Each structure stands twice: as structure tokens, then as C-alpha cells.
Structure 1
Amino acid sequence: MTYALIGARIFNDNTTWLDGYAVVIDAGRITAVTPEGALDPAIERQSTSGLLVPGFIDVQVNGGGGVLFNDSPNVEGITAIGAAHRAYGTTGFLPTFITDTPARMRQAIAATREAAAQQAPGLLGVHLEGPFLNPARKGIHDPALIRPMDDDDIRQITALAHDLPENMRVHVTLAPEMVEATAIDQLIAAGVVLSAGHTAASAEAIIDARARGLSGFTHLFNAMPPLTSRDPGPVGVAFTDPESFCGLIVDLHHASPIALKAAIRAHGPERMMLVTDAMSSVGFSEDTFALLGRQITRADGRLTADDGTLAGSDLDMASAVRNTVNCLDVSLEEALRMASLYPAMFLRVENELGRITPGYQANLVALDADLNVSGSWINGIGTPPQ
């Protein structure tokens, strides 16, 4: 079925705003961006309004809609998380599985393989955040479950990377100082996307991992040592390596707006990615939930354990975009790229996603004047927010 979306201001090719234009969609892809007056009269028109922008891509989504991936490592859990975040403009996501038992991780890997085979809406792969972390920077992760990477882990992860469709990725967050260089080499060779996180690595160790193919940093600033004059660490490398990708949780709790501004100005906005690190509370009314046996409480936009440790976030991508524009001195255009194009580049799917241009998948979001989501499309199939 061919149809055209009309009536919105279009963020064309992630660079230019177009008024009076239409986006023509056929078989799930954008086939043209053309003046409305030039449309073939036979093409069905669907009216929208406000801004039409590329769909948001979130590479760190622990849960949503009352579901945590660790608790529901199955196709139903993945689908429910995607549906909850779609209401906030996320049309592509990596369900994120945090440190857990080896058996549970195998379940998550199997669920990802099956969800990919079933073409779960918006699924772009999986993010394994741990368990190959540094206990000294554990955050909310259970230190009893943090462990070294072994040959079976490498086999499972590389097998999944091989089995997934070519437009999906396995993303692993690890502490480079806790993983053998040969293991990093094997994962990179298999096409796995690696990020440093929950790490106390020296700058030299990070630089070495980057040279081996590490792509960047998971939730920059959080669960890593701060930059100091004689020990710049991961943050210092991130600031001075504009080719690295950095995830930013712009909920205004995980990092100060001043720190986030400093990171963007030092590194440059390109390859800075908005992520949510969202837990099950997003799109869900309950203010408490269990995370690996610990009670987590939502209050004033923060999720914390009883000892005050931050436990992921209550953030959605639309709110992340608004916070970035309103609090970080970033233009709307750049914030939209941070939510779409740069994550697509990180996942190496920028030839398919992250732009409104002919040939790309029709993953789109409509925003009103306040940057709230008024509609979304995944592979050309439109569904209003739930």
C-alpha cells in the first residue's frame, strides 16, 4: 500500500525543515519527499500535524510498561517494553539485560533470537549490560553476579551476533580492564558493538580498547571515575575522542546539566547519543518495583534503592529530547540527531534508519509544539501513542 503523510513540518534528511511537503511511503519504506502539490492524485493522503521527525532510537532500555527484561526474558517481555516506549517516540530499541545469572542471560539471548525471527516491532538487537564489569563501579548491579567473561560467554554472544538479521546488533557493555584483550578482539571480529561502562579503567586501558574496536561509553559519567588532572580515566578519553560514541542520560539526575554541557562542548555533539536507561516504571503507574530482589522507589523523577543508589531511570526519549533542548543549550535539530541519527550510526544502521529520506525505513515520529509525541510509525505502520 502506498500512502503519503501530509500536513506536518518535515525534518528532511535530519538537516532541513520542509513546509508543504509530503512523505510518501510504500512497503514500509520512504519512497519520496515531495511537495504536496506534486503528489499523484491517486495516492492516499493521511493528515498529521506539528513536526515529523525520524523515529527515536534508544540503545539502553531495561524495561517499560511494568515489565523488566531481566524479569521477563522472553518475546512477550521484549514486545511489551517496545510498545511502552513507542508511546514516547521510540521506534527502534535494544532491550537491555543487566548483570544476572548465566542461565538467565542465556534466556535473554534466546528471547532476542526468537523476537528477531518474529520481527518484533522496533527491535534492533539486544544490549547486555554486564556481567563483565568492575565491582568497584557496580552501581545497582549485584556484585555477587559480576564475573569474568569465559569461552562459553564468547561463544553465545558471537553466535547471536551471527544469527541476527543484518540490521540488528548485539551491544555489550563491559569494563575493559576486567576482560582479556583476546576476548575483546573475538567479539569485535564477530561484529559485536562494545562500550565501556561500570569501569575503573585508566585512560591508557580505554585507549587500547578503543584501538581494538571499542565504540564508546555507556552512560558517560555514571559508574566510572571522574576526570582528574593526573588520572583522566574514561571521561577524559571521551572528552578528547570525538570519534567515540557516548550515551547520555539526560534526566537531570544522573548527571548535572553543567557536566553534560561540558561533555558536549568538549567532545562535540556528533556521536553523543540520548539514552534512557529506563526501568519498568516508564509508562506504568506503580511507584515501586523489584529489581533483582531489591525494592526500587520512584520519587521526583528518580529511581533509587533503599541505600540511595540510582537504579536506572524513569526517563523516556521524548523527555530526553525536551531536556536536552531546554537545559543543555542544544538546538532542537541537534537534539533530534542525538535521539535518532547518532544512535543509528552507533549501531551501524545509518543507511536504514535515522533520516527522513528516500530509501530509508519509514520509522517516524510526530511531535506537537511542546515536543510531545502525537503519533509514530514503524516500518510505515502508524500507531498513536498508547
Structure 2
Amino acid sequence: MITALLNGQVLFDREIESELVVLIENGIIIAITDADDKRVQSAQQHDLGGRYLLPGFIDCQVNGGGGVLFNDAPNVDALRRIATTHRRFGTTGLLPTLISDDSAVMRAAIDATDAAIAQGVPGILGIHLEGPYLSPERKGVHNPAKFHAPDSSDIDLVCSLQNGRTLLTLAPERVAPEVLHELVARGVIVAAGHTAADYAQTRAALDAGVRGFTHLFNAMTPLGSREPGVVGAALEDKNSWCGLIVDGHHVHPATLRIAIAAKAKGKMFLVTDAMPPVGSDDPVFYLDGVAITCRDGICATAQGTLAGSALDMATAVRNTVGMLGIPLAEAARMASTYPAEFLGLQQSHGRIAAGCRADLVVLNDDLSVHETWIAGVR
């Protein structure tokens, strides 16, 4: 049975257009057409009531949600709860993110991700391993006792996911170039983050296959007048992608506007770095025994160290429009099209186009989420 989504404002190609009808069959978008199409008349019609119809949001950095931290519960049930929670905020695809941990926890997290994808848990696209190959100088809230340089067994572990995408955040100055080459050759998407690298080291890592930067500006060397640092290398490079946390706390809005203007178009995407309080009434969680409290949208330790965020993707889109002055069409692409391209999923995800999965989000005029569709299921 064909489903017709009509009477919406549809993000199609580069702009938002009205009077388009999206036809879905078997979880796939089969056509973008108009109301005169004969297939529309015989389809099961779903009236969007003039709301925005956008590609479903894709979040490459989700530590938790719904009161669950992935590190504490690396199992399928936890992934289902995290994905279900974030779906309420328009996220139809995500990478559950494991903060630096022991190899046994990494193994469990990878196995759980494989199992979740094999079982068809909606929204799980792979895994993001944030560490443990990071710099103690830029550790953030990560436990430096977990940090080490990867050996051959670590490489095999990181490369062991059978289903979906693997994203690995590492400090490139702590990983040999030949290891970077091997990881990339074996299909791992490598991002630089929590790094004290200088510009030259970052440039060499990009040449070795580093594809992106994890939460740009946070936990990395800044742009300076004589030493461009990681941030300078990231903004200069035309081929890499950068994740941005647009919550008004991690990075000043003016800094974000400058960065977006400097970076090649289509290479900035939104992430949440979400923690368990997202979608939960409990503001407190623990990371390696350290209490983290969420107040006024800020997740931090008692000493004030930021520990992820309480951000969801719908709020990130609203902030990108409201704080940064980015048009909704571009903000929506930053939450869907660009992360799909970063993950190499552009042929199937992140666009409203024939042949793509029917992963969609419907927003009200105030940009709150009205409904989500994953593989054509509402």
C-alpha cells in the first residue's frame, strides 16, 4: 500500500516547497509528485496540515537518553530505549556513543550495536567510540585512566562491527599514521577530538584519512595567530566534516557563526552529545562514579566541567535558526543531509528523494516535533 504525505512544506532539493506530495511504499520514498498524480488518489493519504516535512535527523553523538547511559548499559534494551527517547525529538538515525572505557565494555557495546541492527531496532545506524585513544591534556570529562595508544588487538576490536557504521574519535598525535591508514582501510570513520595536536599534526592526520572533527572547539587546541591548532586545520580543510553542539553553552553563538562562514558549505553538522537527562525527569547521572547534574540545560560536574549536554536534535535545529540566524532549510540539512554524507549514507538517508528511506520528521510552526517516521512507520 502506498502512503501519500500531502499538504506539507517539504524540504526538497535545496529549498522548502509547498504543494508537493511524498509517496512512500515499503519504507522507501518512491516519488516526489503533486496532487494530480493518480497514485495519490488511490493511496492512503496523510494530511500534514501545512507543517514542515523534513528529512529525519541523524545524530552522530548520543551518549544516552531516557535516563540511560550507554556506558552503564551496553545492551540492546538500552539502545532501544535511547533510540525511542531521541525519536520523540525528531532523530530517526543515531550512533550510540561510548565514552572512553575498558576493552570489555567496548566489546559489549559493539556486540549490542550489532545485535540491535540485526534485530531491526529503529534508528540505530552504528556506533561511535569516543576514545579511549585520547589526550590527557584535553580529556574533558573522560577518565584518563582509560586512555592508551591502540595496539593490534585494539584495532581488531574497533573494526569488528558487522552491521552499520563505526565512528572512532581519537587524538591523532597519540596514534601512529600507519594505524590511521589501517583503520580507514578497514572501513572505520575516524574523527579527531579530545586532542592536543598542533596544526601540522592535524594536517598530517587529515592526509592519513581523518574524516571529521568531534564537537568542534571543545577539547581541542584553538585557532591562534601563530599556531592554527586543530580548529584552524578543521576550518581550512575543504574535505572534512565538523560536528557542532549548538546549545549556547559549549560554544558561543558568534564563534559558531564565524566557523560556519569559514568552513566549506555542507561540512558542518549538528550533534547533541546527549546524556541520560534528555527525555528524563532525573537531572543526575554518574560517569565513572562522578556525579553529573543537569541544571538550566547544562550537564556538568560539581567542579564545572561540561559533561555532554541535555540537548536534543529538535532543540539544536531551533537554536541554529534562532541563535545563529541560519535559515530552516539549511539548519535541517545540518541535522540530516550533512551527517548522512559524513557517514557515507547519502544514497539512502538524509534527503527527501526517490529511493531514500522514508525517515522523516514533521515539525510544527514553532519547530517543535509533531511526528516522526522511520522506514515509513509513524
TM range (shorter): over 0.9
1:305 corresponds, among 291, 301, 304, to 301
Q: Per the alignment, in what secondary structure is the counterpart of residue 187 of structure 1?
A: helix
Q: Which residue of 2 aligns with 1:21?
A: 20
Once the 2 structures are TM-superposed, how far is the Cα of residue 146 of structure 1 from its aligned partner? 1.2
For residues 149-185 of structure 1, the C-alpha deviation after alignment (integer angstroms, 9 at most, x for no partner) is: 111111112222xx22xxx210000000011112111
The answer to whether residue 95 in structure 2 is matched with residue 94 in structure 1 is yes
Q: Which residue of 2 aligns with 1:240?
A: 236
The answer to whether residue 219 in structure 2 is matched with residue 220 in structure 1 is no
| Aligned partner letter, 2:286 | A
- State the distance in 2 between where 1:83 and 1:39 align: 35
Greater displacement, 267-276 / 248-257: 267-276
Greater displacement, 273-282 / 233-242: 233-242
Following TM superposition, where does structure 1 have runs of at least 4 consecutive aligned residues deviating by more than 4 angstroms?
none
- State the distance in 1 between where 2:38 and 2:132 align: 53
Q: Which residue of 2 aligns with 1:317?
A: 313
Once the 2 structures are TM-superposed, how far is the Cα of residue 191 of structure 1 from its aligned partner? 1.0
Q: Per the alignment, in what secondary structure is the counterpart of residue 4 of structure 1?
A: strand
Judge conservation of contact 1:124–1:169 (CA < 8 Å) in 2: yes
- State the distance in 2 between where 1:17 and 1:135 align: 45
| Aligned partner letter, 1:208 | A
For residues 258-296 of structure 1, the C-alpha deviation after alignment (integer angstroms, 9 at most, x for no partner) is: 111111111144110100000011000111111121100
Q: Which residue of 1 aligns with 2:6?
A: 6
Q: Which residue of 2 aligns with 1:151?
A: 152
Once the 2 structures are TM-superposed, how far is the Cα of residue 242 of structure 1 from its aligned partner? 2.5
Judge conservation of contact 1:269–1:334 (CA < 8 Å) in 2: no
- State the distance in 2 between where 1:69 and 1:59 align: 14
For residues 84-130 of structure 1, the C-alpha deviation after alignment (integer angstroms, 9 at most, x for no partner) is: 00000000100000101111111111111111111210111000000
Listed as ranges, the matches of 1:338-357 within 5 Å are 338-357=334-353
Judge conservation of contact 2:11–2:53 (CA < 8 Å) in 1: yes
Listed as ranges, the matches of 1:49-60 within 5 Å are 49=49, 50-60=51-61
- State the distance in 1 between where 2:286 and 2:38 align: 53
Q: Per the alignment, in what secondary structure is the counterpart of residue 20 of structure 1?
A: strand
For residues 344-363 of structure 1, the C-alpha deviation after alignment (integer angstroms, 9 at most, x for no partner) is: 00000001111111111000
Judge conservation of contact 1:298–1:304 (CA < 8 Å) in 2: yes
Query: Cα RMSD (Å) of the superposition?
Result: 1.0
- State the distance in 2 between where 1:286 and 1:269 align: 38
Once the 2 structures are TM-superposed, how far is the Cα of residue 37 of structure 1 from its aligned partner? 2.8
Listed as ranges, the matches of 1:3-152 within 5 Å are 3-13=3-13, 15-40=14-39, 41-49=41-49, 50-152=51-153
Once the 2 structures are TM-superposed, how far is the Cα of residue 329 of structure 1 from its aligned partner? 2.3
Q: Which residue of 1 aligns with 2:278?
A: 282
Q: Which residue of 1 aligns with 2:202?
A: 206
- State the distance in 2 between where 1:152 and 1:269 align: 38
| Aligned partner letter, 1:312 | G
Q: Per the alignment, in what secondary structure is the counterpart of residue 381 of structure 1?
A: coil
The answer to whether residue 174 in structure 2 is matched with residue 178 in structure 1 is yes
| Aligned partner letter, 1:34 | T
Judge conservation of contact 2:138–2:220 (CA < 8 Å) in 1: yes
2:291 corresponds, among 295, 300, 309, to 295
For residues 209-263 of structure 1, the C-alpha deviation after alignment (integer angstroms, 9 at most, x for no partner) is: 1111100100000001211112111001112112210000000100001111111
- State the distance in 2 between where 1:6 and 1:305 align: 47
| Aligned partner letter, 1:309 | T
Judge conservation of contact 1:58–1:276 (CA < 8 Å) in 2: yes
- State the distance in 2 between where 1:147 and 1:201 align: 16
Normalised TM-score (structure 1): 0.96
Once the 2 structures are TM-superposed, how far is the Cα of residue 342 of structure 1 from its aligned partner? 0.4
Structure 2 residue runs of 5 or longer lacking an equivalent are none
| Aligned partner letter, 1:83 | T
Q: Per the alignment, in what secondary structure is the counterpart of residue 340 of structure 2?
A: helix
- State the distance in 1 between where 2:130 and 2:263 align: 24
Q: Which residue of 2 aligns with 1:231?
A: 227
For residues 281-316 of structure 1, the C-alpha deviation after alignment (integer angstroms, 9 at most, x for no partner) is: 100011111112110011111000111100000000
Q: Per the alignment, in what secondary structure is the counterpart of residue 96 of structure 1?
A: strand
Normalised TM-score (structure 2): 0.98
For residues 325-353 of structure 1, the C-alpha deviation after alignment (integer angstroms, 9 at most, x for no partner) is: 11112111111110000000000000111
- State the distance in 1 between where 2:206 and 2:264 align: 18
For residues 12-43 of structure 1, the C-alpha deviation after alignment (integer angstroms, 9 at most, x for no partner) is: 13x13222221110010000111123243221
The answer to whether residue 375 in structure 2 is matched with residue 379 in structure 1 is yes
- State the distance in 1 between where 2:185 and 2:43 align: 46
Q: Per the alignment, in what secondary structure is the counterpart of residue 278 of structure 1?
A: coil
- State the distance in 2 between where 1:39 and 1:145 align: 60
The answer to whether residue 331 in structure 2 is matched with residue 335 in structure 1 is yes
| Aligned partner letter, 1:113 | D
Q: Per the alignment, in what secondary structure is the counterpart of residue 277 of structure 2?
A: coil
Q: Per the alignment, in what secondary structure is the counterpart of residue 83 of structure 2?
A: helix
- State the distance in 2 between where 1:97 and 1:84 align: 17
The answer to whether residue 252 in structure 2 is matched with residue 263 in structure 1 is no
Q: Per the alignment, in what secondary structure is the counterpart of residue 16 of structure 2?
A: strand
Structure 1 residue runs of 5 or longer lacking an equivalent are none
Judge conservation of contact 2:16–2:329 (CA < 8 Å) in 1: no
Greater displacement, 28-37 / 132-141: 28-37
- State the distance in 1 between where 2:322 and 2:293 align: 26
- State the distance in 1 between where 2:265 and 2:278 align: 26
- State the distance in 2 between where 1:337 and 1:142 align: 34
